[in-house]
Amino acid sequence: MALASCGQSGPAASPVAPGAQPKGKVLVMSYQTTSPRLDWQTAMYEDLNKEFKPKGLEVEFVNPGQLVIEKVTALHVAGTPADMFEWPRLWRELEGVIGDVTTYVKRDKIDEKQWIPESINVMKDPAGKIWGLPVTISADAIAYNLDLFESSGVKPPPQDPDDKAWTTDAFVDLAKKLTKGTQQFGFGGSYTCGVDWMNASTYFGFGPVDLQAKKVTVNQSGYQRGLQYWVDMLHRHRVQPTTDELNALRSTPNQNAFLTGKIGMSQICNLAEKPTFRWGMAALPYTPHAGQPRNVSSRISVHALFMDSESKNKDGVWEVLKYWMRPETNQRYVLSNGHVVSPLVKTQSERSLKDFQDRMGADPKAFFLQAQRSKVDAWGYYLLRNWAKARTEIDPLFTEAKANKMAIPEFAQKAQEITERTTTF
């Protein structure tokens, strides 16, 4: 959803002098809308106010009760803007509502190296303006059922994404060894927490767009190979359950495939509950090529905090943004979103990693390691203007392709044409 029609972003901020304390109120619109995460964030902002209010700056943290982008857009158009908010899909669809924070970053000499490079780089436009500040990251890894591995007499996959033996071919071989008719499957069917066709080929080092070259790359042979690979897991290799087969394994409707206890491996970005069996986490498999020798499988989703271009208290917003750059407060924010990885390099995500292991009973380090290597969700497809319009046409086509009702080359050609026709860089 493009927002440029809401008007151009406001003039560059004129921040107060370094060291001066801004005062007044900052209205923060919540991204979370339900408990318990909303409750956690409410408590976090209450703690922030304990520090800020004695100095004359107060934060009002509000639950919009709806998708935050809808609420902040309505407030912006009405001339009563929220001052800041969180969003998970980069900055382009917020164009016309958000203001850049480049002046503040430069004024306070904020070192961009404090963030994982990919997380801050995707917050910039081609001119180098910074439109949002990373606050938390959703990353992917492989979950594996240790009980099934041991009963099948096979070794679990590695935790290290740089293990050159852990390729997509090795993944298929392992999944075959773990598949036992329709009673047990080596692969659960999930390979991304993002859009499937956008991220399928990252396991081979290909993405749907090349932002630097300003090219759509869905129709590349390498990209098609990745799409075909995941379709083959179900229809050719039969290491993945069909919908009916999976439903037969579930103890409750819509139960996560991995939690059935009958799936050897499945990609996850989180789990709603602790598995009842012994389990572990590993790196995502990857087959390299000359252009992408390092494991860039799947994606990281970078959640950032944004300032409304018409905010009445931009200096106050900046103080709040800096508050969430502190390692100790940022770790709390990561936990409140149900994530494991902080975009702040210096934190090493210690607190969130420990929390996950204590709650879920498995070492989540693979999330952290993968997040240092994976590219942003869909390699920046969300930085195209009108990407949502393209998806409305492409998603149904890939549903047909996954069902083997459309050949992958035909899908790729159509997706390429649709993207080129409906979007711009």
Mean pLDDT of the chain: 95
Tens-digit pLDDT profile for residues 106-117:
999 999 999 999
Q: What are phi and psi of 84, to 5 degrees?
A: -155, 160
pLDDT exceeds cutoff 60 at 402: yes
pLDDT exceeds cutoff 90 at 215: yes
Q: Helices 168-178 & 221-235, crossing angle to 10 degrees?
A: 0
How does DSSP classify residue 384? Answer: S
Instruction: Give percent of the chain with pLDDT exceeding 70.
Output: 96
Q: Which of 424, 420, 398 is nearest to 192 (CA)?
A: 398
Core vs surface per residue 333-365: b (16+ CB within 10 A) or e: bbbbbbbbbbbbbebebebbbebbeeebebebb
pLDDT of amino acid 1 = 42
Cis peptide before 15 (omega within 30 of 0): no
pLDDT exceeds cutoff 60 at 12: no
**Rounded Cα–Cα distance for residues 97 and 80 (Å):** 12
Which band of pLDDT confidence, cut at 50, 70 and 90, is reported for residue 4? very low
**Rounded Cα–Cα distance for residues 101 and 306 (Å):** 9
pLDDT exceeds cutoff 70 at 283: yes
Q: Which residue blocks in 274-364 are alpha helix, DSSP H?
A: 314-323, 327-336, 350-360
Residue carrying the six token digits 């480049």: 102
pLDDT of amino acid 21 = 87
Q: What are phi and psi of 397, to 5 degrees?
A: -65, -40
Task: Give the side-chain half-sphere CA count within 13 A for 417.
Answer: 8
**Mean pLDDT across 272-282:** 97
**Rounded Cα–Cα distance for residues 331 and 318 (Å):** 19
Which band of pLDDT confidence, cut at 50, 70 and 90, is reported for residue 165? very high
Residue 395: exposed, middle, or buried by beta-carbon count in 10 A (0-12, 13-18, 19+)? middle
**Mean pLDDT across 126-153:** 98
Query: Is residue 167 within 8 Å of 289, Cβ to Cβ?
Result: no
**Rounded Cα–Cα distance for residues 122 and 347 (Å):** 20
Q: Does domain 4-138+300-347 have CATH number 3.40.190.10?
A: yes
Provide the Cα torsion 154, 160, 161, 165; round to 10°: -50
Which band of pLDDT confidence, cut at 50, 70 and 90, is reported for residue 15? low
pLDDT exceeds cutoff 60 at 5: no
**Mean pLDDT across 173-192:** 98
**Mean pLDDT across 242-266:** 97
- Which residues make beta-bridge pairs with 263? 185
**Rounded Cα–Cα distance for residues 306 and 169 (Å):** 41
Query: Is residue 203 within 8 Å of 170, Cβ to Cβ?
Result: no
pLDDT of amino acid 18 = 60
**Mean pLDDT across 318-335:** 98
- CATH code assigned to 141-298+384-422: 3.40.190.10
Q: How far is CA 382 from the centre of its chain?
A: 11
Tens-digit pLDDT profile for residues 367-383:
999 999 999 999 999 99
Each domain of the chain, given as residue ranges in start order, spans 4-138+300-347, 141-298+384-422
**Mean pLDDT across 249-263:** 97
Tens-digit pLDDT profile for residues 289-299:
999 999 999 99
pLDDT of amino acid 17 = 60
pLDDT of amino acid 20 = 79
Do 4-138+300-347 and 141-298+384-422 share a fold? yes
**Mean pLDDT across 116-122:** 98
